[in-house]
Structure 1
């Protein structure tokens, strides 16, 4: 079984369904309201665990009811929460997700306890990081934590995966210890300065990331698919499955978690793992909410079998 460790955010999401985007100064009725567990880190961990990976987590919640709820939720998903700390001063992270009638969304995030993860807490997880196959992180916790965690991982031959979301300036020290970077097309363009429009521009993005110190790249491009460029498997494009999208929230997180559950540490099977990840995320977008929409291994396999029968 693949061992995955995630350093990342833990949020409680409020999902508001609206017919369209409000214009400045307008009051717009909300059609439906719901709450769900979320956070990019937590979503990725749950996706990995549900897809069959042995999963552990480094993070922080507030010492509040929401934090307690999130710990129980992660534990119910068979995630090791030993290295999730509690913060007495800051509340558990939260996000408000606005979902529109056309299936698009906007997300407003309150970092809270996620921004208070310390280097000491990362160091405390050193032995578990060292025992992992993959270490994944994003940008919803401090970058200095990511740098230290990735340095520990590299010292112990653990493959590191960076999801640079939300896109921001990346520390050169973090890039030096990143094996695989997985941005979407907007994030990739923001970080490289090269707009993603076709395969040639994707190749140019990969070349730029190599200059920055990262040798392996996957760019997710929504309902079109995913581009890969790796040392062991070359480069190519895997198209997405065509489905009716209801809510894209957590589609990218599902993709990354599911991908990690199938990848070999040397990334040699990246194309096959991408196909699995694409199938998982195609199931996620067909349901509302973040964590509730993430599929299980049985659901992913059943969808793949159904597709093969056609």
Structure 2
């Protein structure tokens, strides 16, 4: 069984259903409101464990009802939460998701306890990281902690996957060089490289720019169109599965969790792993919400 560690965020998602995004200064009614577990780190960890991987999570929560809600979810799925700690001042992270009738979303984030993760928290989890096959992280927790975790991973030959989301324009060179695989979507790829991703030629150009910045391997996801990979001399495109989209929340996180669960250490099965991840994502987008929409591996058939 693949051992995966995820360093990342925990948010309670407040989903606000609206016909369309409001204009500046506009007041409009919602058609519905719901609550679900979320946070990019938590989503990726849930995806990995539901994909069948032995998954450990490094994260922080507050001392509030939201924390209890999230811990119950993690325990139900069998996620290792030995390194999910509580902060005595900051509250559990929150995300406010504006979801329109076409299934597209805009998200506002309150970082809360997610922003209190320190290098000490990472060092306390160093043994867990060292024993893993793969370490995943994103940008909803402090960069200092991310770099420390990736250093420990590389010292122990652990595969590192960086999901550069939310998008950042100035990623430390050290972090890029510690990343075995970077997995941005088209918006994030443009933010990092300055190259607008619109077709395969621009995907190649963006991937080449990322290679020059120090990243060995690149996967660029482009939503309903699919995903592009560049492993230096080898590159290709994997088409998405066509489905009726209800909500794209957690689709990218599902892709990454499932990808890590299937990917061989030498990346020799990159296309097969991406196809598997794409299938899981296509199931996620057919249900509203984040973690509740992430499928179990028994339901992912390709």
If the TM-score is normalised by the length of the shorter chain, which range does it land in? over 0.9
Mapped partners of 2:20, 2:208: distance in 1: 39
Mapped partners of 2:25, 2:59: distance in 1: 37
Deviations 1:149-179 (A, max 9, x none): 0000000000000000001121111111100
Mapped partners of 2:38, 2:29: distance in 1: 24
Aligned counterpart, 1:214? 215
Mapped partners of 1:66, 1:196: distance in 2: 37
Aligned counterpart, 1:95? 95
The answer as to 2:246 corresponding to 1:246 is yes
Q: Note the residue ranges of structure 2 that are not aligned, 5 or more in a row.
A: none
Deviations 1:257-293 (A, max 9, x none): 0111100112111100000000000000000000000
Deviations 1:230-256 (A, max 9, x none): 14x810000101100000000000000
Question: SS of 1:195's equivalent?
Answer: coil
The answer as to 2:62 corresponding to 1:65 is no
Aligned counterpart, 1:77? 77
The count of corresponding residues between Structure 1 and Structure 2 is: 301
Mapped partners of 1:213, 1:188: distance in 2: 14
Mapped partners of 1:74, 1:248: distance in 2: 22
Aligned counterpart, 1:256? 256
Mapped partners of 1:163, 1:28: distance in 2: 34
The answer as to 2:133 corresponding to 1:133 is yes
The answer as to 2:115 corresponding to 1:115 is yes
Question: SS of 1:16's equivalent?
Answer: strand
Mapped partners of 2:216, 2:140: distance in 1: 23
Aligned counterpart, 1:235? 235
Mapped partners of 2:216, 2:103: distance in 1: 34
Deviations 1:7-36 (A, max 9, x none): 000000011111111122222111111100
The CA deviation at 1:41 is 0.2
The CA deviation at 1:206 is 1.5
Aligned counterpart, 1:308? none
Aligned counterpart, 1:189? 190
Q: Note the residue ranges of structure 1 that are not aligned, 5 or more in a row.
A: 305-310
Q: Please tell me the root mean square deviation across aligned C-alpha atoms, in Å.
A: 0.9
Mapped partners of 2:78, 2:143: distance in 1: 27
Mapped partners of 2:212, 2:24: distance in 1: 42
Deviations 1:118-140 (A, max 9, x none): 11010000011000000000000
| TM-score, scaled to structure 2 | 0.98
Deviations 1:177-231 (A, max 9, x none): 1000000011001101111122221111111111111010000001000000114
The answer as to 2:19 corresponding to 1:19 is yes
Deviates more, 1:200-209 or 1:87-96: 200-209
Deviates more, 1:260-269 or 1:220-229: 260-269
Question: SS of 1:26's equivalent?
Answer: coil
Question: SS of 1:29's equivalent?
Answer: coil
Q: How do 1:22-61 residues align onto structure 2 when only pairs under 5 Å count?
A: 22-61=22-61
Mapped partners of 2:119, 2:8: distance in 1: 13
